[in-house]
Amino acid sequence: MLWIQFVLVAAVIFYAGSQIARYGDILAEKTGMGRTWIGLVLVASTTSLPELFTGLSSAVQSFPDIAVGDVLGSCMFNLVILSIMDARSTAPVIPQAQPGQALAVGFGVLLVGLVGMGLVIDPHLPGWTRIGAATPLVIVLYFTSMRVLFVFERRRLLTTPELKAEMQYGAVSTRTAALRYSASAAFVILAATMLPRLAGEIADRTGLGQAMVGSFFVGITTSLPEVVVSLAALRLGAVDLAISNVLGSNLFNILILALDDIAYPAGPILGSASSANLVAVLCVILMYGLFLVSITYRASKKKLKLAWDTSSILAVYLVSILLMLILRNVEL
C-alpha cells in the first residue's frame, strides 16, 4: 500500500508538473520573453515546484536527508535527462546547445561546490548557529547568476537576432492560462507535501536510509516535470529550451536548499545531513565537467544510441548509486 501511495503521488506530480510547464510557457509567450531565458528561469522554476515544496515540507518535518537528498538527487537526475534526450535524437544533444549554456553550468558548479562546503563545515559550527555557512552565499550567488545570464542572453540576441516566433497559443487567454497554471501548481504542492512522510516510511521499511531514498526515489519523482518538458521541447526541435530547462532547474534547486536551511528548525540543515550526500555533490560536479568538455569539443556525430558525453553522464549517475549503497552498508 505504501508503494501504491508513492506511485500515485508521483503520477500527480508528473501530470500537474507538465501542465505547469505548458501554461507557464503560454504566460511567457504573452509577455514576449525569449525562449532561452524562459527555459533558464520561468520554465525551470515552475518545473522545480515539486522540489521546492517537498524540500520545505521535509525541512519543517525534520527530515534533513530527505530535503538535501531530494535537491541533490534531482540535480543528478536532471542531468541524466540529457541522456534520455540524446537517446531520442539522431545527433549528439549537448553540442546543439548555445555556447552560453556553459555560463549556466559554471554557476551550477559554484553553487553545488558551496553545498559541498556546507556539508563539511556545518557539522562543526557552534550550537547557536541558526543557518549554514554557505546559505547566504548561495542566495547571493543565485540571484547574481540570474542577472548575469539575463545580461548575457540580451547581448547575444542583439548580436545574433532570432526570428520572432509565431504565436502558438493565440486561442488561450492570459486569464485562462493563469487560472490553470495556479490549479496545477496547487496539485503539485499538495502531492509534494506528502512525499516526505512516504519517503521516510520507505527509508525505515527498506533500511536504505533517508539519504539514499531522498537522492533517488524522491529526487527522480520530483524531476518528472523536467523530463516531460525537456522531451516535449526536443520533439518541437527546441533543443536549447530543453537544455535550458535542465540547467536552470539545477540552479533553482540549490536556491531551494538554502530556503530549506532557513525553514529547518534544528540549526543548519547540512550540519544534520549525512556525509553520504557528498557523493551526490561530487557526482553533479563530474557531470557538469562532462557537459563543459562536450559543449566545447562539439562532436557532430555519434556511433551508438548515446553519444560519449551523455553515456558518461549516465555512468557517473549509476556509479553514484552504487557508492551510496556501499556507504550505507558501512554506516550500518
Rounded Cα distance, 276 and 69, in Å? 9
Which of 55, 53, 135, 118 minimizes the C-alpha distance to 270?
Answer: 118
Cβ neighbours of residue 196 closer than 8 Å, sequence gap 6 or more: 54, 57, 58, 61, 63, 66, 67, 218
Are the beta carbons of 63 and 210 closer than 8 angstroms?
yes
What one-character-per-residue DSSP string does 104-149 give? HHHHHHHHHHHHHHHHHHGGGS-TT--S-SSHHHHHHHHHHHHHHH
Residue 32 has pLDDT above 60, yes or no: no
Cα angle: 48, vertex 52, 55; to 5 degrees: 130
Residue 51 has pLDDT above 70, yes or no: yes
Long-range contacts of 107-110 (CB under 8 A, 24+ apart): 107/141, 107/145, 107/148, 107/149, 107/251, 108/247, 108/250, 108/251, 108/254, 108/284, 108/288, 109/285, 109/288, 109/289, 110/141
Residue 211 has pLDDT above 90, yes or no: no
Residue 266 has pLDDT above 80, yes or no: yes
Rounded Cα distance, 236 and 222, in Å? 24
What b/e sequence results for 286-310 when a residue is b if at least 16 CB atoms lie within 10 Å of its CB, and e otherwise?
A: bbbebbbebbeeeeeebeeebbbbb
Architecture category of domain 2-331 in CATH: Up-down Bundle (1.20)
**What H or E segment, with its residue span, contains residue 237?**
none
Q: In this predicted structure, which of 46-55, 127-136, 277-286 has the lowest mean pLDDT?
A: 46-55
The stretch 204-222 carries a mean pLDDT of: 63
Which of 212, 242, 220 minimizes the C-alpha distance to 320?
Answer: 212
- What confidence tens digit (pLDDT) does each residue in 102-148 have? 999 999 999 999 999 999 999 988 878 889 999 999 999 999 999 99
